[in-house]
Amino acid sequence: MVVIGAGPTGLSAAYHLGRDAVLLEQTDRVGGWCRSIEDRGFTFDMAGHIMFSNDPYVHRLYEMLLGDNVHWQDREAWIYSKQVYTRYPFQGALYGLPSDVIKECIVGAIEARFGSLQPRRGGDDGGGNGDDYTGPERRGMFEPLMKRAPRYKGAERRRPVPHKGAPRNFEEFIYKVWGSGIAAHFAIPYNRKLWAVPLDEMETSWLGGRVPLPNLEEMIHGALSPVAKPMGPNARFGYPLRGGFQALMNGFLPHLEGPLHLETRVAAVSPSRHQVTLDDGTALSYEFLISTMPLPRLVRLMGDEAPADVRQAAAELRHVSVRCVNLGVGRENLTDKHWIYYPEDTVFHRIFVQGNASPFCNPPGGFGLTCEITYSAAKPLPVDGDALIQRCIEDCHRVGIFGPDDPVWAANQVDMPVAYVVYDHSRAANVTLIRDWLSSQDIVLAGRYAEWEYYNSDHAFVAGKKAAEQVAEMRQPPSLSYPAAVTLSAK
């Protein structure tokens, strides 16, 4: 059994496969995008990474991987806009924003649910009927607020074409579900910045539980008084005390029973011969192949062996890249926040406060920050190299997270060419077509970039486990009905 990639998915798959797995990793360390780097005493992750899961199985895995090298904190997630900090999610904590912004957000959310508050001609009071989706079309709900809303860079207004029924794309979802005020002041500019692709080119199946929907009562409450720090299991996140997020990945190493080959890149895959070729020319046969590498690349490695429609589908899959600018500042405790979203005109859309993930991520007297910048063909990096670092430092000064008098002890960049998969309208059909053909070739896809899904590392752990179970099932002749629990029960 060959597993391509020793990120969280490949590690989990190899762990669950036991002695049968040969794990191939192109870099010199395990962890994939969950690796960490060290620079002048600072530990930085490859973009901000935290541990969070509601799955008891994942929590057992956390314990196995980290033991007591972990600490749990109540999250401090904030947004910086209009020169004030408000708690995340934006719609639930408007307190502190300018009063006209608060009014637009609340009126917009009410109108999204009940219809326009503007009196209608002919004596009709315009009251809503509770139909979220017919309101905009019949009452033109976007119009009045969009005219009043102030303009700022990165938030150019484009009136969505209203229509009946459920939102057809992410942009419509934002207007119809959250309303025009939240759309204008946070959701549209932030998501345009983050996704780096037009939002009407995205569908919404990926939102799942990720996007909190507005509750009007809570929204009004959160506008009138400061919102308390979120508490409880859903507000808590874990992080390795020592060693950065990498420590969670390294936790697999003592548990792998099969061989792990680092600095070993798969350069070609031949489904017909059931063979992978490494970049040094070595050929390796497999019975089943589990791939965790990015799906379009896997298909490219097969050359003409992949049918034309599969190659076409793979070529259509879209992604967004992330550049992290890591800054090690020579002052302790710059902020008590864990991460901050920036919907306005900073080059970065988020700062992950690495220095608060664990105190051991900082050298004495220092404090680490990761500025995250997405880019794509539609939204290239505005500058690169040292100029990008300089731009981040200047933007940090501008938003006040540290000042010109604070020394920058460390500054480096990490590039993540395939970071977010884009849920465009053809993604699901394309992935299904590719996956079905690969499955007929004894190739199982697992993980965020192989399944082209918005997975976090906890989902990746589960995806690796499922792939191992799937292979175990595929190996057994149906008549034997081999109990997967025999090999996998302890895991």
Ligand X SMILES: Cc1cc2nc3c(=O)[nH]c(=O)nc-3n(C[C@H](O)[C@H](O)[C@H](O)COP(=O)(O)OP(=O)(O)OC[C@H]3O[C@@H](n4cnc5c(N)ncnc54)[C@H](O)[C@@H]3O)c2cc1C
Give me the residues that bind ligand X (CB under 6 A), please.
4-10, 24-27, 32-34, 47-50, 265-266, 292-293, 322, 372, 416, 419-420, 447-449, 455-458, 460
CB of 288 to ligand X, least distance (A): 17
Q: Are strands 260-261 and 266-270 parallel, antiparallel or unpaired?
A: unpaired
Greatest alpha-carbon pair distance for the chain in Å reads 80
* Choice between 61 and 145, CB closer to ligand X: 61
* Choice between 270 and 456, CB closer to ligand X: 456
The number of angstroms, rounded, from the C-alpha of 260 to the middle of its chain's C-alpha atoms is 27
103 vs 412: CA distance, rounded Å? 42
Residue 346, both tokens: 């900073």
* Choice between 56 and 477, CB closer to ligand X: 56
164: which residues sit within 8 A by CB, 6+ positions away?
Answer: 133, 134, 137
CB of 30 to ligand X, least distance (A): 7
* Choice between 183 and 369, CB closer to ligand X: 369
Residue 111, both tokens: 């109108």
Q: Decide: helix, strand or coil at residue 186.
A: helix
* Choice between 372 and 469, CB closer to ligand X: 372
Name residue, tokens 């005020």.
Answer: 181
* Choice between 357 and 393, CB closer to ligand X: 357
* Choice between 146 and 322, CB closer to ligand X: 322
Residue 171, both tokens: 């942009």
For Cα atoms 104, 108, 114, give the angle at the middle one, nearest 5 degrees.
Answer: 145
* Choice between 160 and 238, CB closer to ligand X: 238
Q: Decide: helix, strand or coil at residue 247.
A: helix
Residue 471 DSSP one-character state? H
Tell me if 192 sits within 8 A of 345, measured CB to CB: no
355 vs 76: CA distance, rounded Å? 13
* Choice between 139 and 349, CB closer to ligand X: 349
CB of 238 to ligand X, least distance (A): 10
CB of 324 to ligand X, least distance (A): 8
Helices H / strands E in the chain, number of each: 17, 19
CB of 50 to ligand X, least distance (A): 4
199 vs 189: CA distance, rounded Å? 10
* Choice between 95 and 454, CB closer to ligand X: 454
CB of 461 to ligand X, least distance (A): 9
240: which residues sit within 8 A by CB, 6+ positions away?
Answer: 66, 69, 70, 246, 247, 248, 358
Tell me if 217 sits within 8 A of 110, measured CB to CB: no
20 vs 205: CA distance, rounded Å? 36
80 vs 84: CA distance, rounded Å? 6
Q: Are strands 260-261 and 22-24 parallel, antiparallel or unpaired?
A: parallel
Q: Which of 178, 214, 172 is nearest to 425 (CA)?
A: 172
CB of 298 to ligand X, least distance (A): 8
CB of 196 to ligand X, least distance (A): 12
* Choice between 6 and 188, CB closer to ligand X: 6
CB of 197 to ligand X, least distance (A): 15
Residue 61, number of CB atoms within 10 A of its CB = 23
CB of 301 to ligand X, least distance (A): 7
* Choice between 100 and 263, CB closer to ligand X: 263
Residue 49, both tokens: 């990474």
Tell me if 404 sits within 8 A of 362, measured CB to CB: no
Residue 187, both tokens: 């959701």
CB of 401 to ligand X, least distance (A): 19
Beta-strand (E) ranges in 335-403?
A: 339-341, 350-352, 367-375
CB of 26 to ligand X, least distance (A): 4
